């Protein structure tokens, strides 16, 4: 999963929210699971 500046991701387990400030590669992970990109 490539990230782009401004995208918002949510943890499906605990509800943590992350906004991308610096783009990069890889997968955002929280609670041992990939985070889901939030719809705009």
Q: Residue 32: its pLDDT value, please?
A: 97
Torsion of CA 29, 30, 36, 38, to 10 degrees: -120
**Residue 16: its pLDDT value, please?**
98
> How many whole angstroms separate alpha carbon 26 and alpha carbon 40?
21
Nearest Cα to 35, choosing from 16, 6, 2? 16
Q: What is the pLDDT of residue 14?
A: 98
Task: State residue 24's pLDDT score.
Answer: 87
Residue-by-residue pLDDT tens, the chain, 40 positions: 668 899 999 999 999 999 999 988 889 999 999 999 998 6
Per-residue model confidence (pLDDT) at position 3: 80
Q: Which domains does the chain have, with CATH numbers?
A: 8-37 (2.20.28)
């Amino acid at each position: 999963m490539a990230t782009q500046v401004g995208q918002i991701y949510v943890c499906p387990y605990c509800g943590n929210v992350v906004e991308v400030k610096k783009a990069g590669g890889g997968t955002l992970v929280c609670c041992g699971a990939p985070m889901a990109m939030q719809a705009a």
